[in-house]
Structure formats: C-alpha cells, structure tokens
Amino acid sequence: MIELDNIAYSYGGAELLSEISIRLTPGSFHFLTGPSGAGKTTLLKLCYGALLPTSGQVRLFDTDMRRLDRDQIALMRRRIGVVHQDCRFLDHLTLAENVALPLTVSGRDLAAEAGNLGELLNWVGLSARSDALPPELSGGERQRAALARAVIMSPDLVLADEPTGNVDWDMSQRLLQLLVELNRMGKTVLIASHDLALIRAAKTQVQARVLRISNRRLQLAGADL
C-alpha cells in the first residue's frame, strides 16, 4: 500500500531523515514514535505526497510518486485519510459542513451522502454537535471531527499525526478505540505519537507494529513498549 525505499529528506540543507525503508501492508496497524523534532510529521507527509524525498523512492498503491503530476497526486490522496495535528477547520462552517468538505471538493452529491454523513457523525459521537461552529468545540470534539473528516471518503489508509496530543486520557482512549475499529474494518492505520501509554493500550487490542525514529533513521521498537 505504501512503500518507502531507502528515502532521505533534507530541510534547509540539513538531513532530517536518512535511509528510511518501510512497507505498510493492507490492514496493518503501525505506530510511529520518537522525540519531538525527530521527523514524525515529515515522514507522514512523505507517505501521502505532501513532500517528496530528497532521495529514494516512495510508492503509493504500487505507483511511483515521482511519476505523478499534481492532479494525479490529488486523486491518489482521496484514498488516504489524514488527521492533522492542528485540526484545521473553517470557522464559518458548521461541524457537519467541515466534515463534509472532502465530499464537496470531490464534487459528490451532498444530498445523496447525507445518510452516510449522519452515520459517521453518530459513530464519532457528534450528532448533537453537528450545527456547532469549530470555536464552540472542545479539544476532544475537534479531534473526533477531524477523524470523521479524514474517513468521510472511505479511504484505504488512515494517517493520524498526534491525534491524542491535546486531549485527556479518557478521550485518548475513545479516539484510539475509533482507530482500532477502523483497522478492524480493514483500513491500514499509521499513528504518529509520543504517548507510550497509549501505544501500550493499543497493543492489548490490536496487532500494532511500533516504529521509532532515532538519529534520522527508522527502527523497530522493542518489546519494552
């Protein structure tokens, strides 16, 4: 599904990532961990084509990303749901309208998708907040809305960047459960997180592989996690 083959990425002349190779297979569940500034967000961006590597090859759904133009990359991204760390929303739109934005951008018939949107908001526990504006939402509500928006197009792959970084433990567990449920539906999941307690909790529910960025390289984390 995603293959990174000996990639490196440099920023401002300094190498941030080096000799990174990974293969995410369909239905797998991965955590990506490492200290702040190690390159977790950068690696996620390489996985969905927001960045191209300085060297090496990124293959997405068996296609070399360097062979795609901007429009082709945009179409490819419809198969990927991304939960950004900063929960980007348009404050003048309601929660439901923000969640439905990917449908709008792709030209889908919103009236025909209303049932699916309602089911999705119910799944993340936000049906009662569908008309609320983003500034009115709590941190946990924003994170769940971001997850709903990421999966509204029924992607094959879900990438989440520190999805529990700004919520309490109970909400972290709720968000984790939603991501585990997605994985059980057959979705491939990759979560960037520095929360080792969350990773330990996940490993009691799903077969999760834990990867760690250290000294610009990717390592398989040990059983101590």
pTM summary value: 0.89
Write the pLDDT tens digit of every residue in 171-220. 888 888 889 999 999 999 999 998 888 899 898 889 999 999 988 999 87
Check whether residue 28 and residue 93 sit in a common domain: no
Check whether residue 25 and residue 95 sit in a common domain: no
Q: Which domain holds residue 36?
A: 1-79+155-225
First to last CA, the chain: 26
Pairing of strands 217-220, 14-24: unpaired
Check whether residue 159 and residue 144 sit in a common domain: no
Query: What is d(CA 38, CA 41) in angstroms, rounded to the nearest whole number?
Result: 9
Please say whether the beta carbons of 66 and 56 come within 8 A.
no
Write the pLDDT tens digit of every residue in 12-46. 888 999 999 999 999 999 999 988 888 999 999 99
Span 149-174, average pLDDT: 88
Q: What's the total number of domains in the chain?
A: 2
CATH number of residue 59's parent domain:
3.40.50.300
In this structure, what token pair is assigned to residue 52? 């191209």
Please say whether the beta carbons of 123 and 154 come within 8 A.
no
**Partner residues linked to 211 by β-bridges:** 32, 220
Check whether residue 143 and residue 217 sit in a common domain: no
